[in-house]
Amino acid sequence: LQPMKLASSTVCLAFRGFYVYKSATSYCRFASSEPSKQEESRLTRIERQFDSIPHEERDKKAFHAAITLFKERRSRQHVEFINSALKHVKEFGVHKEIDTYKALLNIFPKGKLIPQNTFQRIFLHYPQQQNCCVKVLDEMEWNGVQPDKEIHDIVVNAFGEWNFATKKIKRMMYWMPKLKYSNKYIDRRDIEGKNLTAAELSGYALKMMARDPATILDYIKLGDSQSSPEDAHLEDRWIVSAQSVQQRRIIAALEEGTKISVDGPFRVYIMEHPIQYVKMTSPPLGTPLEEFEKHDMVGREDFSDWFSEWTKDRSGRARSVHEQKDETVLAMAVFSANDNQSAEQWIQHLQKSSPALEKLRVHLRIDKGKEMFDAEKKVDTHHETIDAQQAKDSAV
């Protein structure tokens, strides 16, 4: 024993790595710093359990094998392992698999975390475990995975019938089926669980945005057999165009030399799939659109000339759904490559059904969105590589 005097009434005794504080009223023992280092090394090993798997082998089978291996070897540190697994669900491509979330929730021990008395029910019993369970359920909700009765039973067997985490799964089972088909502009059953091409997703996006039921969708394959040799590099490009009969009539009614613009790309989401589209617009037609019309209420109770009021034509030109407050939408399209060359090919296709386009002034204002986003991804990847290299150097 090595006594160290701290104060007049407190003495610290160091014995085999433990510190014992002795006073006149109580004894207090604190663990040494060695167990904390061991605990930190264990957490590090758990974090690296998924990182050690090669990238080419990261799939559902490898992810579930790591979960099975953890359940066989360890009976503790469930929270740390689940938090580490949630960081890698998208890398392994299992963020849409309901079996993966069932396997993660089955890691929690059954019965041990259920409150046994009134005080445990009032307060948050095992808060870290319950918050970890809520994180798993939140990940399911963000990825649009519909829970079933089995997941509800897993959570109930782990945390009790009316606990914090159990209330979360009950709310999900009530609201998610109601909100699953809340989008009235598109039927998600046509998209969910199907391996659709980019052109097919573009068609669904244009169909969702086009409010005119008479809209016609066209698929244009660039660089086909009828193309010139100069357009041979366009073989893999395509265009999905959307235009209605009313929009063609609006183009035919435009005055010669009217300025129209092709702007884009803009982004819209079909579930989790981002789609970039462009639109052809013209200045607003006619008088400015007024949201509120003023009516004179003076003399409204005088019915002497009711017949003349009834027969008088008070309705102006009816606006179509394409005529907005700031612009008039003439057509929409999705390009496989967002550049002016694809826009020119699109205009040539529209001129077949709307010859009046040749007399209009067309301004192409296409941002190279696809190349821009690819550049951003390259920059992010470069920064991640630098951060990983710095972390490796600091560890060494």
Token pair recorded at residue 141: 């909700």
Whole-number pLDDT of residue 323 = 85
223: left (phi over 0), alpha (psi -120 to 50) or beta: left
DSSP 283: P
Cis bond upstream, residue 265 (ω within 30): yes
Whole-number pLDDT of residue 11 = 41
Token pair recorded at residue 389: 């290299």
Token pair recorded at residue 8: 């007049």
b/e for 369-385, b at 16 or more Cβ within 10 A?
A: beeeeeeeeeeeeeeee
pTM of structure: 0.66
Q: Cα separation of 152 and 179, whole Å?
A: 19
Residues of the chain with pLDDT under 50: 1-35, 225-227, 229, 232, 369-396
What is the CB neighbour count within 10 angstroms for residue 148? 11
H-run or E-run covering 63: helix 60-73
Q: Cα separation of 223 and 282, whole Å?
A: 29
Q: Where are the domains of the chain?
A: 1-32, 44-179, 196-286+320-369
Nearest residue to 165 via CA among 108, 213, 222 = 108
Q: Cα separation of 9 and 24, whole Å?
A: 7
Pairing of strands 238-243, 216-221: antiparallel
What is the CB neighbour count within 10 angstroms for residue 329? 23
Whole-number pLDDT of residue 193 = 79
Whole-number pLDDT of residue 2 = 46
Strand runs (DSSP E) across the chain, as ranges?
2-5, 11-15, 18-22, 27-30, 216-221, 238-243, 259-270, 273-282, 328-335, 361-366
Give pLDDT tens digits for 10-48: 444 444 444 444 443 333 333 333 445 555 555 556 777
3-class SS at 226?
Answer: coil
Whole-number pLDDT of residue 132 = 93
